[in-house]
Amino acid sequence: NSLQSTVPSRTSIVMESESKGKLWIINPDSPDNTVTVKGVEIISQLPEFVSLRNGATPGFVDKTIGYVPTNVKPGSNGEIDMVMKPISGLSVYKFDVRFQYVDSTSEEIQYSDVYEMSARLPGFAADVMDIDKTTKPANVRTYSVFFRNTNGFKENVSRIRVRTSGKQRILAVGPQSEQGNIAILTPVTKQSGTIVLTPLDDLSDPVAPDSSVKPIYITLSGVDSDTIRLNYDALDETNGVISSGSFLLSDPISKVEDERGGGNMGVSILTLPNPATSSATISITLEKDISNVTVKIVDMLGREVLNVTNNSMLFQGSHVFSTDLSSLASGSYIIILNAEQGRATQPLSIVR
């Protein structure tokens, strides 16, 4: 029942069991939406329908073909109850769905395109995402940079290609979302068999002349000097080079200092995004176990403003803390990690 009672963010089919499901029609509440959904045609690619029902209104079914009338206005949701004849061993049901609708300017029935929808049955194993304790790049630093379209051709820049000039490797570039709390990872298999993660190209908007992209966070490994030179190409919509250049990276926004004599603690702190707005993720990677750990955020006068964790034992590997910064004012802060084995700090900026 929990699946059926949870309203999805977009129109979709959710199965409660192998025989019962629900088609959710999510009609957005926006000024430019004048569409009212008046009916749904649905074709099942494999299991047959037993019944379709919109509240008290029954629909029509004929084996794998069904239709049900609706009246889903802008800003409201429709719930179509579906009963199927289950097929043993099938884990995903596929449907072709077409909507009948009218808009505010006409009462004439119009038809949408046909959309293929998949409904996955509950009870099957989930994918796994977890910490990789075997891969630990050395000398990782994150920098904040910007790009400004100043080319003399007054052309839009569709893509920006960045290349290292030495042994450094580019690990990550961001942010991927406006609030910095979502990243979409798109795996691409190269000819060598290596799988890399690439941003989505189909959602990009070009950088217009005299416009800027800021901030851009670049995370590198293999940084063994105070300054690193990167090369860049500004590309048009066909990946043609508009202009090229290089720039120096210095003053990383992610940096750890060991403030006690006794050698390096083997601690790496990475905070993203930084600068942050309302939240940030603090990632702490340890080469060995540390004890009596306190992580806190202090202002520039040394006053504690936020406690992240207190009196903890942190084991070798990576630890991630999702931190709510909404109570803190814009400005500069310091993240301080204290442990029996040493002390590490990292600057943090909050910008709103």
Model confidence pLDDT, tens digit, residues 15-73? 999 999 999 999 999 888 999 999 999 999 989 999 999 999 999 999 999 999 999 99
CB distance 259 to 338 below 8 Å: no
* Non-local CB neighbours of 240 within 8 Å, separated by 6+ positions: none
Quickly list DSSP for 43-107: EESSSPEEEEEETTEE-EEETTEEEEEEEE-TT-EEEEEEEE---TT--EEEEEEEEEEEETTEE
For 162-217, write each residue's pLDDT tens digit: 999 888 999 888 877 777 677 777 888 888 888 887 765 555 688 999 999 988 88
Distances (CA, A) of 112 to 18, 97, 100: 28, 9, 7
**What span, in angstroms and rounded, lies between the C-alpha atoms of 199 and 46?**
35
330 CB neighbour count, 10 Å cutoff:
10
Beta bridge partners of 284: 269, 319
Q: What is residue 260's predicted lDDT score, i.e. its pLDDT? A: 38
Radius of gyration of the chain (CA): 27
Residue with tokens 């601690």: 267
Give the mean model confidence (pLDDT) for residues 243-257: 77
Kindly provide the residue ranges of all beta strands, DSSP E only, lying in 199-326, ordered along the sequence.
212-221, 228-235, 241-249, 267-272, 279-286, 290-299, 304-314, 317-324
266 CB neighbour count, 10 Å cutoff:
16
**What span, in angstroms and rounded, lies between the C-alpha atoms of 241 and 204?**
17
Q: What average pLDDT does the chain have?
A: 87
Length of the chain: 352
Which of 125-134, 198-207, 339-348 is the least confident region?
A: 198-207
Percent of the chain with pLDDT over 90: 47
